[in-house]
């Protein structure tokens, strides 16, 4: 089935004027279809990655209860084959240089706060349900660190740093959290869309990493990937989200850095490893 036919299933009678392949990845191919009703996105999944489709449908369904215009709307799902969604307006924030970062990040903080109002039944990786669910945050965080530290060791990470991270995690006893919430788990500037005329955040995309977790784990990843040491961004995030407890944020930032080190090493991308390890060492 071609992309025209896929769009026709979602919107019978629609006129497609142009089709552009946006990505042709290992997991799926993504196309943008220009139509007389506006642009649409078509994601075509390889059979072995059909669970990614199920996850996207489930997570966008959860988000739809809280967000109306800020997320893509799913128009049609052909199970195990393809999904047709609306295309959000806006440009990825990663491609822009706004006149003031604080105002942008206040909006980002407010979006994260709204998302974190969506409860989850347990802690764990989210598909169309929580996989290997755990009932509390402490068990979840310690399990995740154990997994990533084991990967770190297997991939040849520095054993002295491994021990320092292990002891750092053991010292943290402040892991109590009321309940798991929906966490985007990749809320960085490449996934945030902005209107460059008004500098209003128009929405966010890419939910394939979503988890049920402590909301601060989500905020910490945004800080690690996009905010870092930018004071205006951090103040804006706090303006929109609220107070961010330093100890837990730092712990989760170590986790995200460890996860990133493991990922780069596993794909043979060594250029960033020394810097990531130095960042971790500077905290633990």
The band of 123, judged by pLDDT with boundaries at 50, 70 and 90, is: very high
Task: State the Cα–Cα distance between residues 162 and 149, nearest whole angstrom.
Answer: 7
Q: Put the strands of the sheet holding 200-204 in their side by side order.
A: 91-92, 192-195, 200-204
pLDDT reported for residue 264:
96
Nearest to 277 by CA among 243, 266, 262, 198: 262
pLDDT reported for residue 82:
94
pLDDT reported for residue 162:
98
Q: Give the ranges where the chain is alpha helix by DSSP (H).
A: 3-10, 50-64, 101-115, 137-154, 159-171, 215-222, 231-241, 246-266, 273-283
Give Cβ neighbours of residue 228 (< 8 Å, ≥ 6 apart): none
pLDDT reported for residue 75:
95
pLDDT reported for residue 24:
56
The band of 235, judged by pLDDT with boundaries at 50, 70 and 90, is: very high
Domains, the chain, ordered by start? 3-86 (3.30.200.20), 91-283 (3.90.1200.10)
Taking residues 251-266, what's their average pLDDT?
97
Average pLDDT, the chain: 94
Task: State the Cα–Cα distance between residues 257 and 269, nearest whole angstrom.
Answer: 15
State both tokens at 133: 């669910």
The band of 151, judged by pLDDT with boundaries at 50, 70 and 90, is: very high
Percent of the chain's residues with pLDDT above 90: 85
pLDDT at residue 28 greater than cutoff 90? no
pLDDT reported for residue 26:
57
pLDDT at residue 29 greater than cutoff 90? no
pLDDT at residue 199 greater than cutoff 90? yes
pLDDT reported for residue 213:
98
Task: State the Cα–Cα distance between residues 119 and 69, nearest whole angstrom.
Answer: 21
C-beta separation of 191 from 202 below 8 A: no
Give the model confidence (pLDDT) of 10-27 as tens digits: 899 888 899 998 875 556
Give the model confidence (pLDDT) of 64-99 as tens digits: 999 999 999 999 999 989 999 999 999 999 999 999
The band of 252, judged by pLDDT with boundaries at 50, 70 and 90, is: very high
The reply to whether the predicted model has a pTM over 0.85 is yes
Nearest to 50 by CA among 102, 133, 128: 128
The band of 201, judged by pLDDT with boundaries at 50, 70 and 90, is: very high
pLDDT reported for residue 22:
83
State both tokens at 156: 């040849």
């Amino acid at each position: 089935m071609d992309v025209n036919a896929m769009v026709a299933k979602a919107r019978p009678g629609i006129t497609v004027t142009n089709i552009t392949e946006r990505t042709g990845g290992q997991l799926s191919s993504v196309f943008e279809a220009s139509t007389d009703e506006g642009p649409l996105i078509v994601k075509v999944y390889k059979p072995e990655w059909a669970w990614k489709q199920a996850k996207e449908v489930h997570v966008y369904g959860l988000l739809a209860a809280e967000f109306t215009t800020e997320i893509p709307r799913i128009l049609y799902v052909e199970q195990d084959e393809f999904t047709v969604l609306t295309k959000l307006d806006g440009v990825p924030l990663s491609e822009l240089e706004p006149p003031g970062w604080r105002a942008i990040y206040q909006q980002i903080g407010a979006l994260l706060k709204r998302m974190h109002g969506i409860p989850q039944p347990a802690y764990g990786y989210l598909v169309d349900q929580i996989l290997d669910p755990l009932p509390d945050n402490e068990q979840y965080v310690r399990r995740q660190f154990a997994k990533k530290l084991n990967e770190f060791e297997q991939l040849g990470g520095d054993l002295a740093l491994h021990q320092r991270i292990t002891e750092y995690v053991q010292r943290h006893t402040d892991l109590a959290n009321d309940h798991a919430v929906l966490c985007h788990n990749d809320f960085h500037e490449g996934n945030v869309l902005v209107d460059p005329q008004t500098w209003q955040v128009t929405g966010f995309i890419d939910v394939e990493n979503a988890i049920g977790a402590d909301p601060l784990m989500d905020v910490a990843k945004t800080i690690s990937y996009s905010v870092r040491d930018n004071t205006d961004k951090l103040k804006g995030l706090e303006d929109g989200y609220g107070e961010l407890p330093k100890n837990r944020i730092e712990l989760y930032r170590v986790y995200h850095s460890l996860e990133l080190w493991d990922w780069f090493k596993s794909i043979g991308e060594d250029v960033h490893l020394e810097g990531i390890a130095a960042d971790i060492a500077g905290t633990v």
